[in-house]
């Protein structure tokens, strides 16, 4: 089994995004990871949903590890940028970051 390069947590709870937009993002993430060839190989990404990440505002929230980057207010368009620019190309989208672990 290939090791995972990154782990993405998507909050699918109802407090940070009352319309539960996170659920839609979580399913879109699967298709985007497949499209960008990130399900296997050296840049393999693990995708998980979380019922709550403890922020409960400004969502939907997506956290990317090992960088410890948390993106807020994630739209489908921003999700696509996260997959392409961050997960595929390794460039953090600074203007969309609302929290950095340890920062």
Query: Applying CB under 6 A, which part among 2-10, 23-31, 34-42, 50-58 lies near ligand FES?
Result: 50-58
Sign of the CA dihedral running 16, 26, 66, 32? negative
Closest CA to 96 of 73, 63, 67, 77: 73
Q: How far apart are CA 47 and CA 45, in angstroms?
A: 6
Q: State in angstroms the smallest separation of the CB of 33 from ligand FES.
A: 21
Among residues 14 and 36, whose Cβ is nearest to ligand FES? 14
**CB–CB of 93/41 below 8 Å?**
no
Number of residues that bind ligand FES (CB under 6 A): 11
Query: Applying CB under 6 A, which part among 25-33, 51-59, 73-81, 90-98 lies near ligand FES?
Result: 51-59
| Span 2-31, contacts to ligand FES by CB under 6 A | 11, 13, 15-16
């Amino acid at each position: 089994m290939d090791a995972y390069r990154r782990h993405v947590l998507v909050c699918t709870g109802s407090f940070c995004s009352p319309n539960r937009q996170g659920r839609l993002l979580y399913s879109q993430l699967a298709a985007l990871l497949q499209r960008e060839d990130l399900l296997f190989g050296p840049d393999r990404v693990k995708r998980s949903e979380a019922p709550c990440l403890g922020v409960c505002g400004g969502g939907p929230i997506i956290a990317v590890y090992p960088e410890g980057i948390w993106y807020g207010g994630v739209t489908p368009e921003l999700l696509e940028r996260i997959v392409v620019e961050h997960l595929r190309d390794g460039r953090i989208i600074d203007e969309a970051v609302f929290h950095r672990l340890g920062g």
